Structure 1
Amino acid sequence: MMMPSIFGENLFDDFMDDFSFPTFPNVDKELYGKHAKNLMKTDVKETGNAYEIDIDLPGFKKDEIQMELKDGVLTVSAAKGLDKDEEDKKGNYIRKERYAGSMSRSFYVGKHVTVEDVHPKYESGILSFSVPKEEAKPVEEKKHYISIEG
């Protein structure tokens, strides 16, 4: 039996994924579909005094990405809508895979990090920034003597 395909990809790929019954619901899959695992892929690299973070956000414009730092948690959000012009086009979609919606990812970076510490850069679909490590404070050894009554 021949399956219809467009651009060499089977229209019924991931068909069996619809029949998986996990014991716990997969929230990401419910919110973003079967390909949720491919969204906001992140690399974190440790350097001498910082952590360097790269997040894949292909197809987003810089003004569709927002970063917020609150109580030591850095949240990266991205929101995208399809152009209104595209919605007005005539014709029936056979397959629609482009993403429209919003997503976010949060990282605990520590309460020592300030907005001025984070210098994000967005190039070629990758959001890059670094976060300083908290400096280890030297432990002062204080002796607390207890007097013995006698």
Structure 2
Amino acid sequence: MLLTRRNNLFDEFFNDPFFTDAYHNRQSLMKTDIEDDGTSYVIEIELPGFKKEDVRAELKEGYLTIYADTVSENEEKDQKNYIRRERYSGSVKRSFYVGTSLRQEDIKAAFENGILKLVVPKEAPKQIEENHYITIE
């Protein structure tokens, strides 16, 4: 019996680093650890490649939503002609239900070395505020 290897254009096409890198990069964004320290929840979210200015945290209708948007451009060029130019623009978002009794002032947030750290108290006053942004230090 003669076995032949079947070459499929699409097999090679989708094994290109353009597609595999995009998939793996998307999977590695916003990895999250949530710790219960007794009085509050400590949420640490990995946002590699993002700056503090790129990150927003919003509390609305009981949901804490983290947004991160970035635009970057890498250039490698010869003196006469472009050898390669690359651009990346992307955004990620993740939401957590934290309850309707929390206010934006109850949640503390800090961003350092690509890690967003949020401290969310377990119990909060029974006052509701909608659509307010949380200051990231």
TM-score w.r.t. structure 2 length?
0.66
- Alignment match, 2:15: 15
Gaps of 5+ in 2: 1-11, 125-137
What's the % identity of the aligned pairs? 43
- 1:57-96 matched pairs, under 5 angstroms: 57-83=47-73, 86=74, 89=77, 90-92=82-84
Letter in 2 for 1:115: Q
- Return the structure number with greater relative CO, CA threshold 8 A, min gap 6: 2
- 1:90-129 matched pairs, under 5 angstroms: 90-92=82-84, 100-129=89-118
Pairwise CA distance, 1:80: 0.4
> Alpha carbon RMSD of aligned pairs, Å?
2.8
Whole-angstrom CA distance in 2 between matches of 1:99 and 1:39 = 14
Q: How many residues align?
A: 104
Gaps of 5+ in 1: 1-11, 17-28, 136-150
Structure with the higher fraction of residues in strand conformation: 2
Whole-angstrom CA distance in 2 between matches of 1:42 and 1:115 = 20
- 1:20-31 matched pairs, under 5 angstroms: none
- 1:45-60 matched pairs, under 5 angstroms: 45-60=35-50
- The answer to whether the 8 Å contact 2:75/2:84 transfers is no
- The answer to whether the 8 Å contact 1:72/1:112 transfers is yes
